[in-house]
Amino acid sequence: MNAPENHRSARRTAEDVAEAGRFFRYMADYVGFTAADAGIIRRTRPIIAKYLPEIVSEFYTHLLRYPLTRKLFLRPDGTIDEPYLNLRMRHLSNFWLRTAQGVYDDEYAAYVDYVGRAHTSRGADPSIYVPERYVIGQVGMMQHAISRAVSNELRAVDDETEFRAVEAWDKLMMVLLEMLAHAYGHEQEPEAYGEPVPVDSVWVRALAEQAVAAEHGDNGARPLRRAAVAAAAEIPDGQRKIVQIDDLSIGVFHHQGAWYAVRNSCIHQGGPVATGALEGDVLTCPWHGYQYELRSGRCLTDRDAELDRYAVTVTGELVYVDVPDSGPPAGLQEKAGEPALQANEFRIADLAAGQMLTLTVNGLAVLVYNVDGKYYATDEACTHAQGPLSAGKLEGKIITCLLHGSCFDVANGAALCAPATAPLKTYPVTVDGEIGRVSVT
């Protein structure tokens, strides 16, 4: 295959994509993988989706056990880089969900070819090199995990269907193995061994659950909620604003008369892509130069990938972004082994210094602030035009409304800057061990 030497600088041509497709079809034909097999695989997609947390956690528990694969997921101080591991899990979830779609066109083949190269020094990051033997081993492991899942679920249907589904996946795995291995060309790597390390597989499983849920969410399964992120006047044409909504960092752009919002996390290594240079319609991640079309989110460096985008609505003076609803506010989410919270309670651990969170108590939105370890609470709506103060800026004890710049002292509610003149209502906050409690009367 005509794989470019440097994936980052050389974009894949239509001929590269067509060549990947030819190679895929050649191998599929060789192992006897037919359109009927593809159809059966498509039917097993719900099974793969159901077993994905198990499949993904098995994959990474194994990689974390062996020092030579484990080292790719460690920080310089030797601890596991959890956000990076989570990103890898999401990419793997996406790989299996896409593979289970049963669509094996040129684009899919080019995607597998790209994934293969990602593990070699011809991938986007030449410093990452995964020796071929580990990729081969992982394909074997995935083959077993998928066979097990398919068998478990289809055994009850009938033997014939179960057998045909397992066989279809087995054949596809042979094709995937060959395509992933093909990416290595003639590269050789030095041999080395290390003793296996114990891994907390329960923790890996919990992380995998989160990553898979996030991918399902990006496929549109999660409901959306509309969050106010800025006053329109705050982002003139040609400007952008980075906003944090729950655990999502998002870049909101006002660009050539239109509005766009993209996830501020590069598909490559999670770099702050929305802070990168925007030339014409092309946004470049400051970390490793991955490029995206702002309008479509399409990645120009890896044509099979996309940056998550969010719908933007500008109503009156406010800019809103539709984001996946992450459920109740952080303070109310149940945590294993911890008592459920009342509507007026929050966990101290969920409210870092300089941050705020919203509670809804008896239908009233109350904003709780952590100012250098002291907790305050006020109404969430600005007293001037009811702007949402949760979308405003907290500096020390001063909260500034994003709509017209009114500001208040959160400790006593005093209106400090016009146009607001009426003070904000405040509520007492008490701290009881790990729990904070707002008295709303």
For residue 334, what are the CA distances in angstroms to 64, 158, 159, 340, 354? 28, 40, 42, 6, 24
Which 297-316 residues touch ligand HEM, going by CB under 6 A? 305
Q: Which is nearest to 212 in space by CA: 95, 338, 378?
A: 95
Q: What are phi and psi of 90, to 5 degrees?
A: -65, -40
Residues in the chain: 441
Number of residues that bind ligand HEM (CB under 6 A): 23
CB 251, min distance to ligand HEM, A: 20
**Stretch of 115-123, 145-153, 367-375, 400-408 contacting ligand HEM, by CB under 6 A:** 115-123
- Three-state SS at 377: strand
Binding status of residue 410 toward ligand HEM by CB under 6 A: no
CB 193, min distance to ligand HEM, A: 15
CB 347 within 8 A of CB 357: no
Binding status of residue 139 toward ligand HEM by CB under 6 A: yes
Q: Which is nearer to ligand HEM, 269 or 275 (CB)?
A: 269
For residue 230, what are the CA distances in angstroms to 23, 246, 371, 389, 405? 49, 15, 22, 11, 11
Binding status of residue 142 toward ligand HEM by CB under 6 A: yes
Q: Which is nearer to ligand HEM, 303 or 347 (CB)?
A: 303
Q: What is the DSSP string of 34-93?
A: -HHHHHHHHHTHHHHHHHHHHHHHHHHHHHHHSHHHHGGGB-TTSSB-HHHHHHHHHHHH
**Stretch of 27-35, 111-119, 215-223, 367-375 contacting ligand HEM, by CB under 6 A:** 111-119
**Stretch of 126-134, 316-324, 357-365, 425-433 contacting ligand HEM, by CB under 6 A:** 126-134
CB 223, min distance to ligand HEM, A: 27
How would you class 384 by CB atoms within 10 Å of its CB: exposed for 0-12, middle for 13-18, buried for 19 or more? middle
CA dihedral over 114, 80, 75, 134, signed as positive or negative: negative
CB 67, min distance to ligand HEM, A: 11
CB 60, min distance to ligand HEM, A: 9
CB 349, min distance to ligand HEM, A: 31
CB 217, min distance to ligand HEM, A: 18
Binding status of residue 138 toward ligand HEM by CB under 6 A: yes
Q: Which is nearer to ligand HEM, 41 or 92 (CB)?
A: 92
CB 64, min distance to ligand HEM, A: 9
Interface residue with ligand HEM, options 47, 64, 110, 118 (CB under 6 A): 118
CB 364 within 8 A of CB 440: yes
286-287-292-298 Cα dihedral, nearest 10 degrees: -160
Order across the sheet with 258-263: list the strands.
Answer: 240-245, 248-255, 258-263, 309-310
Q: 253 has which bridge partners?
A: 240, 260
Interface residue with ligand HEM, options 44, 57, 69, 370 (CB under 6 A): 69
Interface residue with ligand HEM, options 124, 367, 403, 429 (CB under 6 A): 124
Interface residue with ligand HEM, options 115, 150, 403, 420 (CB under 6 A): 115
Residues near ligand HEM, by CB under 6 A: 63, 69, 72, 88, 91-92, 95, 115, 118-119, 123-125, 128, 130, 134-135, 138-139, 142, 268-269, 305
